Chains A and B, each alone.
Chain A
Amino acid sequence: MRLDLTHIQRWIEPGSRVLDLGCGNGEFLQRLAKERQVRGLGLEIDPDKITNAVSRGLDIVEQDMDAGLDNFPDQSFDTVVMAHALQAVHYPDRVLEEMLRIGRQGIVTFPNFAHWRCRLYLGSRGRMPVSRFMPYNWYDTPNIHFCTVTDFEALCEERGIRILARDMVGNTLRRPLLASAWPNLFAVTAIYLISR
């Protein structure tokens, strides 16, 4: 279980309806179903991940977020989750707007591109960072829209999106203080609970 998913769980009400955009193999939805008794639906486009998620007993719809989400009615879910996919969609701003049209609240997680290691890598080598967390070369990566904690909050401000809570995850569990105090420098992963 990825660290950011553990954080998300407490924001999800038991028995609520959850849409997971880019649900992967459904690990998170399965856990929510078990521990929070949610009624979940996952969206995914990778065939093997879909089969894997279905074998966990989950409902999965093969659908590409970049082609739109207008088949989902307004306010039809309690929570719409998008974990580590914001940086991989064509129009992150539109997806955010759609999340809050479909759901009462949204939960977004993304890798913070302004983490000091990224800055150091880019600053010292002058090349796009490649690491354990971002293992792709710039020319062959699903991550086409990297952003920083500050970028994201600026976008929310501009679009009138309310940040209800945020959680910053540092590169080790023992040092959460740095990540909370200076998130744009020390957060590896940013987690936001948002609403209209």
Chain B
Amino acid sequence: MKTSTVGIVAPQRARFEEPLTLACGRVLATYELVYETYGTLNSARSNAILVCHALSGHHHAAGYHSADDRKPGWWDECIGPGKPIDTNHFFVVSLNNLGGCHGSTGPVSINPNTAAPWGPDFPSLRVRDWVHSQARLADLLGIDCWAAVVGGSLGGMQAMRWALLYPQRLRHCVVIASALRLSAQNIAFNEIARQAIQADPDFAEGHYLTHNTLPAKGLALARMVGHITYLSDDAMANKFGRDLRSGSLELGEEEIAEFQVQSYLRYQGSQFSGSFDANTYILMTQALDFFDLAREYGDDPVAAFRSAQCSFLVLSFSTDWRFSPSRSREIVDALIAADRPVTYAEIEADEGHDAFLMPIPRYLALFTAYMQRVRGDC
């Protein structure tokens, strides 16, 4: 266990009995959200930070679940004592989103009407559904206004939606490696991922839990495709190059050579398929595809951001090609035109989209500097 950590944390569970009308028109009568908190809420309840997770994230963002845990939470580089989101000063709330598969109500939960898992019948979700459910969690925790809502990638989309739906309830919005909406290429990659899952015979049209099967191969393949888009060409070249794991490329060698990158991707795929639900993956990728911040503002992001009242920090990474710096610039330019306070930087990094999870010195320094300002506004 590293020293600058929030230490051992335990997830908590909140149950909501008030029905939630979803963007698709369906209603969830009751639901549960699993979340973790780090740090202490001050008496004015003004130092709370909401962390929104990305596609495959969950509530366990920092610290360890037990002393033998090998790996900390997914954003431990940025959350903890002395880190950018400094738990000596902030009270951090991190939840598993509705529709997730790490404890919050989702496709693997039991549908009270059928007493069977929801599976593919779980309602389709939009980013705004997550925002509304997060607002109810804030109500429950007694947080009227977040000091900041923070997220990377899909998490950044939630943070931006917060700024439009609940302008009075956040003072700062931190949007990292995100975009106003997906491009055709982004959607295309998500579609390949979904097709990989749906083409697996064990998917059983989404009813694998009741059929006692798991579309592990399809989900692994989906993750492999996604994973490639998270890394940059340079990052893959540096990490694997054309190194062989087995066999040889010498003439006269009959054994088929296997590259390191092949075995790495297969390992990533199989790890993921053992810990993630296929229906959740489909649901989350659809929420990504459907997100379009400015759609109901006449497709004008400037008009959209005019309803925001918070200050924004927008960050991008030079080799991120999933949500490239130019996608972040679209956010920044719209904020400038809407006369909203905005800070922006493009961080030089080799790691591609995944850079937002990495301890890159300039990234951490700038993020820390901005969060000190957030602290000053608490």
Contact = CB atoms under 8 A, between A and B. Distances in A.
Given A47-B345, A61-B343, A62-B344, A55 B369 contact: yes
Nearest to A40: B341
Contacts of B321: none
A60 B333 CA distance: 13
B139 interface: no
Contact of B366 (A41, A50, A61): A50
A66 to B, nearest CB: 15
Contact of B336 (A47, A58, A72): A72
A17 B329 CA distance: 21
Contact of B311 (A52, A59, A61, A71): A59
A55 B372 CA distance: 7
A6 interface: no
B245 interface: no
A152 to B, nearest CB: 28
A54 B337 contact: no
Given A55-B369, A55-B372, A57-B373, A50 B345 contact: yes
Interface residues of A, number: 20
Nearest to B302: A73
Nearest to A19: B336
B344 A57 contact: no
B365 A51 contact: yes
Interface in A24-65: 39, 41, 47, 50-52, 54-55, 57-63
Contacts of A71: 329, 332-333, 336-337
B339 A62 contact: no
Contacts of A76: 336-337, 339
Contacts of B252: none
Nearest to B316: A62
A51 B363 CA distance: 9
Contacts of B336: 41, 61, 71-73, 76
B189 interface: no
Contacts of B292: none
29 contacts: A39-B341, A41-B336, A41-B341, A41-B342, A47-B348, A47-B362, A51-B365, A54-B366, A54-B370, A55-B369, A55-B372, A55-B373, A57-B376, A59-B311, A59-B341, A60-B343, A61-B332, A61-B336, A61-B344, A62-B344, A62-B346, A63-B344, A71-B329, A71-B336, A72-B336, A73-B336, A73-B337, A76-B337, A76-B339
Interface of B: 311, 329, 332-333, 336-337, 339, 341-346, 348, 362, 365-366, 369-370, 372-373, 376
Task: Give 6 nearest A-B pairs by CB, closest first.
Answer: A55-B369, A71-B333, A54-B369, A62-B345, A61-B344, A57-B373
Interface of A: 17, 39, 41, 47, 50-52, 54-55, 57-63, 71-73, 76
